């Protein structure tokens, strides 16, 4: 238990019509200050999104979602935000927005392995299982 790490995470949501407030969970952003780690995994259920808004611009959504892991990875290729510190990038990504791609409030957790925690969150919050239907 001495190897537990505290992390923060937010759920990435696609909100096709902001005025309605309906959304589809599409991914997780996970940050660990101690390890200076920022991870993101995106898996959009396009059928669920289209059920909320048949005319949604999927290319726009895919592009916006693809930018999240790129910003998390950092570096020059992902634009000026990706060159910020890990913590600054996390705060920028999870800042409240009134756009088609938003995030939930930030939550905290503890784990022994960040990749395992990310996979657990994806299974619990993003992936639809038979029990969800």
As a whole number of Å, the end-to-end CA separation of the chain is 36
By DSSP bridging, strand 101-103 and strand 5-14 are antiparallel
Instruction: Tally the residues of the chain.
Output: 133
Cα–Cα distance between 28 and 124 in angstroms, integer?
A: 11
pLDDT at 133: 45
Cα–Cα distance between 117 and 68 in angstroms, integer?
A: 18
| Alpha-carbon distances of 100 from 23, 28, 66, 82, rounded to whole Å | 9, 16, 14, 21
Tens of pLDDT, residues 57-110:
999 999 999 999 999 999 888 899 999 999 999 999 999 988 999 999 999 999
Q: What is the pTM of this model?
A: 0.92
């Amino acid at each position: 238990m001495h190897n537990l790490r505290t992390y923060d995470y937010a759920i990435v949501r696609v909100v096709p019509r902001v005025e309605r407030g309906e959304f589809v969970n599409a991914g997780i952003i996970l940050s660990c200050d101690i390890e200076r780690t920022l991870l993101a995994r995106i898996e959009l259920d396009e059928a669920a999104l289209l059920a909320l808004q048949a005319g949604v611009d999927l290319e726009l959504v895919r592009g916006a979602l693809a930018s999240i892991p790129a910003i998390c990875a950092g570096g020059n290729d992902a634009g000026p935000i990706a060159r910020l510190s890990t913590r600054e990038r996390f705060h920028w990504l999870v800042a409240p927005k009134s756009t088609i791609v938003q995030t939930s409030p930030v939550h905290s957790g503890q784990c022994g392995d960040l990749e395992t925690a990310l996979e657990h969150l994806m299974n619990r919050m993003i992936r639809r299982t038979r029990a969800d239907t």
